[in-house]
Structure 1
């Protein structure tokens, strides 16, 4: 992970940053799955209550260059600014950006259990109380599943800072619970 490239969402009067980030992340997800499976990690330099308006792609210079040649940003070029591929600054720390799946609604869990045939409606009401609902304040990006067409929130957690990098594979969202990316 010696190189990175930043993609910044430009201010726009027609579309808000969250909508453009969702569109950018959807294109990135598809492109990572097709062209760079496991090789490119992402980070969000303005990560706070929201992911922010910048995505950093991390990998080798060769992998980032090959990825940029795929024209995966077609249709969003007017809404983003893409930096040159740069070297990671010396002394950068490292951290993981991972997906967190929250089992948010007890009612949804009950419906799913009944639909899958795991429980009857009465059993679901008894075994899955409202207290099973979970919430999180983690930043998220709204995405739409390519397989089911359903919209959902992809919650993102930034892990603790580490001095040394940890290797591993990145998923089709560019996230990993074990592999780190430079943080600076």
Structure 2
């Protein structure tokens, strides 16, 4: 990952930055799945309680150039600022940005078990107590599944900082539980 490019969401009086970031992330997801085949990773330089207002794309300069020519941001160009492709600083550390799936609601788990025929309503109440609910304070995006059409929260975790990069493949969200991206 010798190169990167930043995409910053610009302030807009009509749309909040969270809404624009979610729209940008959704378009990026579709484009990565179609054109990048696991070769472009992403990071969030302002990652804190929210992912922030910048997405960094990481990859080779050639791959980022080709990816940029796909016009995947059509419709968002007035709402974002895109940097030139730059070299990653030599002293950059490395970390993973990965997706975390949270089974948030015990009630939802019960409904799914009953709907799928695994348990009766009584069994679901007995076997899936409210204590099975999980809560997280990780940053997230509201996204809509391309395959099922369901809306959900995609939680993102930044892993520990490492001095050496770890090679691997990135998913269609540009995230990986193994592969690292430069962090600076």
TM-score normalized by structure 1?
0.99
Corresponding position of 1:119: 119
Unaligned runs of 5+ in 1: none
Q: In the TM superposition, what is the alpha-carbon distance from 1:150 to its structure 2 partner? A: 1.4
Q: How many residues align?
A: 184
- Flag as ranges the 4+ runs of structure 1 deviating above 3 A: none
Corresponding position of 1:162: 162
Q: In the TM superposition, what is the alpha-carbon distance from 1:183 to its structure 2 partner? A: 0.1
Q: In the TM superposition, what is the alpha-carbon distance from 1:149 to its structure 2 partner? A: 1.4
TM-score normalized by structure 2?
0.99
Q: Deviations over 1:128-170 (max 9, x none)?
A: 0000000000000111111121111100000000000000000
Unaligned runs of 5+ in 2: none
Corresponding position of 2:174: 174
Corresponding position of 1:141: 141
Please report the RMSD computed on the Cα atoms of aligned residues, expressed in angstroms.
0.4
Q: Deviations over 1:80-128 (max 9, x none)?
A: 0000000000110000000000000000000000111111111100000
Q: Deviations over 1:3-51 (max 9, x none)?
A: 0000000000000011000100000000000000100000000000000
Corresponding position of 2:81: 81
**Pairing 1:98-109 to 2, within 5 Å after superposition:** 98-109=98-109
SS in 1 for 2:142: strand
Find the aligned partners of 1:149 and 1:86 in 2 and give their Cα distance.
Answer: 36
Q: Deviations over 1:61-96 (max 9, x none)?
A: 010000001000000000000000000001100000
